Structure 1
Amino acid sequence: MTPALPDGYRLIRVPHSRSVEFREVDHLAFGYEPDPETVAQVPDYLEWDRTSAVEAPDGSLAAVHASYAFTLPVPGAQPVECAGLTWVGTRPDQRRQGLLSAMIADHFAHCEERGEPVSALYAAESAIYGRFGYGSAADDLRVTIPRGVALRDVPGSSDLTLRFAKLDAAAHGGLVEQVHAAAGVGRPGWIGRSTDALRASALADPPAWRQGGEPLRIATVHGPDGEPRAYALLRRKEEWADNVAKTKVLVRESAAVDAAAAHRLWSFLLDMDLTASVQSGPLPVDDRIREILVDPRLATAKITDNVWVRLVDLPAALTARRYSGPLDVVLEVTDARLPANAGRWRLATGPVGADAAYDVRVTRTEDDADVALDVRELGAAYLGGRSLAAAGHAGLVEERRAGSLHATSTAFAWPLAPVCSWMF
């Protein structure tokens, strides 16, 4: 159901031949203009068979959006096909005409056509996307830690070697993607970069992005056999005060395949000469660094929303993940944007698996509802990092049968906190 556009406006697919115009709308919407050097150094990572826009009556682009073909890791199962919504923007002089609503409906229609039961995004403005049924499904942690803080011992860390070099995209790109993929095994939300262009953009380092810091460096941790087990993409930003070095270590992205590798990496980052602190990139809220700090109070932590998730095909999405407890519950779901998702759905788990998790069958039913909620709350809980019981405590989920919300919340939860380690 696509909302009506103003007279003369229409939804179109945008070919690569209109890429300059497409990007100009985004620049106007977000208030920035990349310099020519940055444009030359950052690859074109849009997928031009997945770019769309609203065309104004004069033929210009009034609003734009695009998506990526991702697979989204979900609790305990194979990743689910996912449309990563991105580059959503409306020209400032074209706002308040319903263009965004029409584009989101168009995006959902394309998801259905492609068989993508889930959509995910990063919200530039967090107040916007809830009304379209997206739920905030994960948080990420950014920590600032003073140099020299003590870490608890982790067996095997001292057996690993560390290398430090200027980042070379050709030499280091494969290592980064290998470790990134291995580090995310079992963690919901850990989306991989799905194209060569996205992988290349992760290593791009135009001077405009450095904010006065050095060119991007890479620290890598290796096992006794030389196999890479951790990395950090970082730069140092030189600062001095009263003849004392206050240089910051700014980590863009880091990943480690196990606890020993993480310990070895952080031991290096926290003891670099002429530095005063380390600022991390996005980490899961249960990252190992929180556990291995001897004095966690020395770390300044900031938590913010990470990926937002929208269930486009509710039964397919819910069936695609696994659950932490047995469940037989009827959910009454409201969905103002995708009516096919609305109604009553029975979720019934089968026998417990060898991994102590459960598969589920999702079927329509006319039975009385046990729990009532909007699709937004289901999206928020989908990756296992949000509590449906907490949403109920906040008045956003209604329990209609005693005990049913506790059981549902327990089943949807997952031991590892969800996160996406990079912004798309």
Structure 2
Amino acid sequence: MTDPAAGLRPATPEEWPAFSRAMLHVFGEDASGPFVESVPEHAELDRSLGLWDGERVVATAGIYSRELTVPGAVVPCAGVTWVTVSPTHRRRGVLRAIMRRQLTELHEQGREAVAALWASEASIYGRFGYAPATWRGNLSGATQRLRLRPGVDAGAGRVDLVPVEEYRAAAVALYDRVRRFVPGNLARGDVWWDRALRDEPAQRHGATERRYLLHTDPDGTVSGYAAYRVKDAWTDGGEPDGTLTVEEVRATGTPAYAALWQFLFAIDLVRTVKVPMASDDDPLRHLLADPRALHARPLDALWVRLVDVGRALAARRYTAPINLVLEVRDRSCPWNDGRWALTAGPSGGFCARTDSDPDLVVDVEALAAAYLGGTSLATLQAAGRVTEVSPGAVTQAATSFRWPVSPWCPDEF
């Protein structure tokens, strides 16, 4: 196999079982069940890539057509997924061929100016221009210390355990309302809600089935929801030592949010609460009486790549006026490499190529890290990823790119 790029092509529905088994084998997952037997609803085989060595699938990749919230706007986003290379075909340029093919096709098709993925290994995707743009808090705490601050307004609403059908009917509309204000959130159509609510026993790891809460205001309006599981355990002395894993909590205001957490902290027989997918800047941390009760171990979450720098920078909003020339270094996408004049502010912006002298020099990976407003360009300068040419340019850019709401992505794909 001398040229892997020449052999890449989309998989057909008939080839899906072999394609998916090859992918799951590399990820170390069970290569059986409904996912393998038939093409899932959320799969887009026309956007897949596979590499065959004879009858054997030796590399896979795919793209989901998603919608991503960015500062002040929502944009189409290519959700890169299924990326694997068989151990028998490593170090032959296969992954590089896949990444280049995806980026080139995205650029030529013009559908999405931004791509994103969840990285199985953090050392892989930086060389292709991706960077972590959101972080998950990976929160945990002991229930005996998890108490809300005195005076926190939990409102006059009620929290109820509900069946999944009732939960979904209310959560869909509420999620679609709140996700538009949080950079990094993804739209969830029906197939993505189907996937989010799937609850296979094999995926519970000894915990209960997923349980669902709705918070309802006195006027009957649903203003919050939560999903969680409990895993029971007992100490040698016969004391309860259960673990509560909270998968998602969303609300339209502080009272509903506080009331949901108040309910969760009081669940019987639980001694530890874990919130692996929470934002690393979750407001829960500021609702607690004991600020040390909740421990965070932040992990990278959504990695972002600017497929087309000009379109991507013009699509988002900025907290303050910015008028700078950015010299972007992009080894993988020559159409991005060069100087870009960015003139923008809170109401929108414009970004186009220019021959003017640069104010900042930045590699595309660092620009991706700052794109959702969570990573400061000043921090990236301190790390040697941004070079200031015009005095004050880093301060202006860092101020304008930052966003009041921390970026967060609770949806793995």
Shorter chain as normaliser: what TM range?
Answer: over 0.9
Distance 1:39 1:146 in 2: 40
Distance 1:254 1:171 in 2: 16
Maintained 8 Å contact 1:42/1:206: no
Matched, 1:32 2:44: no
Task: Give 1:100-179 correspondences, 5 Å limit.
Answer: 100-112=95-107, 113-148=109-144, 149-152=146-149, 157-165=154-162, 167-168=163-164, 170-179=165-174
1:222 to 211, 216, 219: 216
Distance 1:251 1:40 in 2: 31
Maintained 8 Å contact 2:21/2:31: no
Maintained 8 Å contact 2:242/2:269: yes
Matched, 1:306 2:270: no
Q: Structure 2: which amino acid aligns with 1:338?
A: C
2:9 is paired with a residue whose SS is strand
1:6 to 3, 17, 21: 3
Distance 1:7 1:369, change over 3 A: closer
The alpha-carbon deviation at position 28 of structure 1 amounts to 1.8
Matched, 1:398 2:398: no
1:330 to 317, 325, 330: 325
Distance 1:40 1:142, change over 3 A: farther
The alpha-carbon deviation at position 253 of structure 1 amounts to 2.2
Distance 1:36 1:341 in 2: 42
In structure 2, the residue matched to 1:203 is 197
Q: Structure 2: which amino acid aligns with 1:197?
A: V
Maintained 8 Å contact 1:221/1:231: yes
In structure 1, the residue matched to 2:369 is 380
Q: Structure 2: which amino acid aligns with 1:141?
A: G
Maintained 8 Å contact 1:327/1:408: yes
The alpha-carbon deviation at position 6 of structure 1 amounts to 2.6
The gaps in structure 1 that reach 5 residues or longer are 351-356
Task: Give 1:16-415 correspondences, 5 Å limit.
Answer: 16-36=13-33, 44-56=41-53, 58-77=54-73, 79-112=74-107, 113-148=109-144, 149-152=146-149, 157-165=154-162, 167-168=163-164, 170-194=165-189, 196-241=190-235, 242-349=237-344, 357-415=346-404
Distance 1:174 1:19 in 2: 32
Maintained 8 Å contact 1:254/1:281: no
Distance 1:63 1:37, change over 3 A: closer
Distance 1:29 1:182 in 2: 37
Bigger mean CA deviation after superposition, 361-370 or 413-422: 361-370
Q: Structure 2: which amino acid aligns with 1:227?
A: T
Q: Structure 1: which amino acid aligns with 2:201?
A: P
Maintained 8 Å contact 1:54/1:64: yes
Maintained 8 Å contact 2:13/2:39: no
Q: Structure 2: which amino acid aligns with 1:19?
A: W
1:164 is paired with a residue whose SS is strand
2:387 is paired with a residue whose SS is strand
Distance 1:197 1:41 in 2: 15
Q: Structure 2: which amino acid aligns with 1:97?
A: R
Maintained 8 Å contact 1:150/1:293: yes
Maintained 8 Å contact 2:249/2:257: no
The gaps in structure 2 that reach 5 residues or longer are none
Q: Structure 1: which amino acid aligns with 2:206?
A: G
2:197 is paired with a residue whose SS is coil
1:234 is paired with a residue whose SS is strand
Q: CA RMSD in A?
A: 2.1
Distance 1:41 1:246 in 2: 40
2:207 is paired with a residue whose SS is coil
Maintained 8 Å contact 2:21/2:36: no
Distance 1:21 1:257 in 2: 44
Maintained 8 Å contact 2:179/2:185: yes
Normalising by structure 1, we get a TM-score of 0.92
Maintained 8 Å contact 1:43/1:197: no
The alpha-carbon deviation at position 189 of structure 1 amounts to 0.7
1:191 is paired with a residue whose SS is coil
Distance 1:324 1:171 in 2: 39
| 1:103-137 Cα deviation digits (max 9, x unpaired) | 11111123221421110111111111110011211
Maintained 8 Å contact 2:323/2:344: yes
Distance 1:305 1:176, change over 3 A: same
Q: Structure 2: which amino acid aligns with 1:235?
A: R
In structure 2, the residue matched to 1:353 is none
Q: Which runs of 4+ in 1 moved over 6 A?
A: 37-42
Distance 1:34 1:265, change over 3 A: farther
Maintained 8 Å contact 1:247/1:274: yes
1:33 is paired with a residue whose SS is coil
Q: Percent identity?
A: 34
Q: Structure 1: which amino acid aligns with 2:287?
A: I
Distance 1:36 1:360, change over 3 A: closer
The alpha-carbon deviation at position 285 of structure 1 amounts to 2.0
The alpha-carbon deviation at position 34 of structure 1 amounts to 4.8
Distance 1:24 1:317 in 2: 35
| 1:298-348 Cα deviation digits (max 9, x unpaired) | 112111111111111111100000111111111111111111111111112
